[in-house]
Amino acid sequence: MKKRRACVMKSRSLKVKTLQRINRSFEHLPFSSLFKTYISDFSRVDAFYDYNPFDREEIEAKARQHQYRGDRRQMTDLLRAFNDPYDLHENALQNLDRLQQDDALAVVTGQQLGLYGGPLYTVLKTISVIHIARQMEAQLDRPVIPVFWLADEDHDYEEVRSVYAPGDGKLQTYELPSRSFPLPPVAEMKIPGELEQLRNAMRSDLYETDFSSAVWELLDHCFYPGTTYAGAFGNFISRLFSRHGLVLAGSNDPGIKEFVKGVVYQSVEDAEDIRKALEGPSGRMKEQFHQQVTLYDSNLFYISGEGNRLKINASTEGWATEQGHQWTREQLLQEVEENPELFSPNVFLRPIMQDKLIPTLGYVAGPGELAYYGQMKQLYARFDAKMPIIYPRLSATLVEPAVDRIFDELPFEFHEYANRIEDLDAAYVEHTEKMDIEAIFSEWKEKVGELARAKKKKVATVDPTLEGAAGKATAVYFGELDKLKGKVYRAVKQQDQTQLNRIRRIKQNLFPRDNLQERSVAAIYFMNKFGLDIWDELLASLDEQETFDQHKVIKL
């Protein structure tokens, strides 16, 4: 619990100069032990990674050592074609030109194609990659381009079909119908007609603000029945961030698949060595921390004639899918050579393909990505490469003015709101025992009783018949004290209930469903309340040398 605070901050309009940020240690927040160690004591995990993101000399060494082995003109032509369907700003187009320069590097991040942009951490990652690219360009004195990698080959539809926003005292879920497996890559799936019902329900539930019309105009422009998830999500990110030079990329593209097919070919040709390269670090990671991704005997998927993404498994005969597709090793290598567009990488191969396409200096990762990169150091070596610098993304909780106003009235520190609401209630009641009401009124009655007994005797000396009346007067007084005690109990209970309700409100905003706000609440919830420019203003408010080694509590 926290000590008594100073005056409560007043509500204010959202302007860059008033965006107050408070750094909080990750230590007491619900992050993995690996992530906390990576942030606080990198020397304990450096065996799993090639570069320390907090060491300036190592960053500069990575930049000096980096050698791009592809054709830059072809690479930028492919990226230009990839970005053509999206609403790319002129600043991003200029960055595509700069990426063609021999000394140009990139900082990359990526995310699944979440409905309506997904949770808050999607925009936090995007802000991070833009900010870090600017930092690195200034530090290295060479072009460093921010790139957002669309997870356009992912087939986890369950992860992208829902969106969450606070409403009616709890976190509301808005979701599209589930679909049965096997499924095509989410990027190629079309948004169903049920979006209209979801949209109307969500707009009805969210408060109407001065910004609502602009927000829904943007969402309706990007997300509508019949468009693909890749098209919708890509346009959403581009509309918000390409003005800052952000370039989009992905691998669900025939030209790009042809460009990086050597990665897929080697994954088949050296399958056994690649498996061993993953086993060692993964085993050590499991012993010391946790293993983020389970290992399989293959890191590839096959795109069937129906467009479904099917896992390829090693078999005694060679390679096969559970749906009946079979190849010998030689047949599979030939298929990769002739039809690379039919193959899709898993979570381990995707970064290798990314770095084959893009001159990657660093990758901006969330805690889960940081963990599976820790399994990949030897895998990169098998591909004659080193992994990029793994930068932790901006981790933040946004505090609305209404929550900020009541936060200081309660005895809890920020991280304590991650606890269960039952534990918070119990802690508050224990902390706020203002008075022992029974003891106070017992003492009051005892002292009044002593005085009454003495006075009754004096009254009796005047007229013995009045002693009974004096006793009744005392009883009436005691009755009034009992009534007063009841009123005090009710007042205390009412005060406690008001504060308990405030505790629930704060917890619901900061840690909905006992989770970090950034992992669940949709970014558009904040856009609806504070405007489309909220992310521009957050980006502009970051200090030039600001790093993301602490969780940031940002007061709006």
User: Mind listing the pLDDT tens digit of every residue in the chain (556 residues)?
Assistant: 654 333 333 333 344 445 789 999 999 999 999 999 999 999 999 999 999 999 999 999 999 999 999 999 999 999 999 999 998 999 999 999 999 999 999 999 999 999 999 999 999 999 999 999 999 999 999 999 999 999 999 888 998 999 999 988 899 999 999 988 778 889 999 999 999 999 999 999 998 999 999 999 999 999 999 999 999 999 999 999 999 999 999 999 999 999 999 999 999 999 999 999 999 999 999 999 999 999 988 899 999 988 899 999 987 779 999 999 999 999 999 999 999 999 999 999 999 999 999 999 999 999 999 999 999 999 999 999 999 999 999 999 999 999 999 999 899 999 999 999 989 987 887 777 655 777 888 888 888 778 878 777 777 787 787 777 877 888 888 888 888 887 877 776 677 888 999 999 999 999 999 999 999 999 999 999 999 999 999 999 999 889 999 999 999 9
Has residue 414 been placed in a domain? no
- For residue 389, the surrounding DSSP H or E stretch is strand 389-392
Same domain? For 168 and 294 the reply is yes
pLDDT of 439 reads 80
Least Cα distance to 406 among 504, 482, 479, 324 occurs for 504
Same domain? For 342 and 211 the reply is yes
310 DSSP β-pair partners: 302
| Other CB atoms within 10 A of residue 44 CB | 13
H-only helix segments in 116-194:
120-140
Same domain? For 355 and 431 the reply is no
b vs e for 443-457, b when ≥16 Cβ sit within 10 Å of the residue's Cβ?
eebeeeeeebeeebe
Least Cα distance to 362 among 51, 33, 37, 25 occurs for 51
Check if the beta carbon of residue 117 is closer than 8 Å to that of residue 237.
Answer: yes
User: What is residue 99's three-state secondary structure?
Assistant: coil
Least Cα distance to 242 among 73, 36, 95 occurs for 95
Has residue 539 been placed in a domain? no
CA distance from start to end of the chain: 24
Residues ≥6 apart with Cβ < 8 Å to 19 = 537, 538, 541, 554, 555, 556
Compute the distance between CA of residue 135 and CA of residue 6 in angstroms, rounded to an integer.
36
Has residue 405 been placed in a domain? no
Which among 380, 395, 410 is the end of a domain?
395
The parent domain of residue 425 ranges over 420-513
Has residue 433 been placed in a domain? yes
Which whole-number Å values give the CA distances from 362 to 76, 144, 445, in the listed order?
19, 10, 74
pLDDT of 2 reads 58
Same domain? For 390 and 433 the reply is no
Has residue 261 been placed in a domain? yes
Has residue 551 been placed in a domain? no
Same domain? For 172 and 241 the reply is yes
Q: How many domains does the chain have?
A: 2
Q: Which two tokens stand for residue 59?
A: 């960053």
CATH number of domain containing 351: 3.40.50.620
Same domain? For 353 and 472 the reply is no
174 DSSP β-pair partners: 163
Check if the beta carbon of residue 371 is closer than 8 Å to that of residue 292.
Answer: yes
Same domain? For 384 and 451 the reply is no
pLDDT of 493 reads 66
Same domain? For 367 and 459 the reply is no
pLDDT of 18 reads 56
Which among 344, 362, 395 is the end of a domain?
395
Same domain? For 112 and 172 the reply is yes
Has residue 537 been placed in a domain? no
pLDDT of 321 reads 92
pLDDT of 145 reads 99
Q: Dihedral sign, CA of 18, 19, 25, 28? A: positive
Same domain? For 439 and 385 the reply is no
Has residue 17 been placed in a domain? no
Same domain? For 101 and 187 the reply is yes
Which among 334, 362, 395 is the end of a domain?
395
Please tell me what DSSP assigns to residue 520: T
Check if the beta carbon of residue 126 is closer than 8 Å to that of residue 241.
Answer: yes
pLDDT of 8 reads 30
pLDDT of 435 reads 59
Same domain? For 57 and 128 the reply is yes
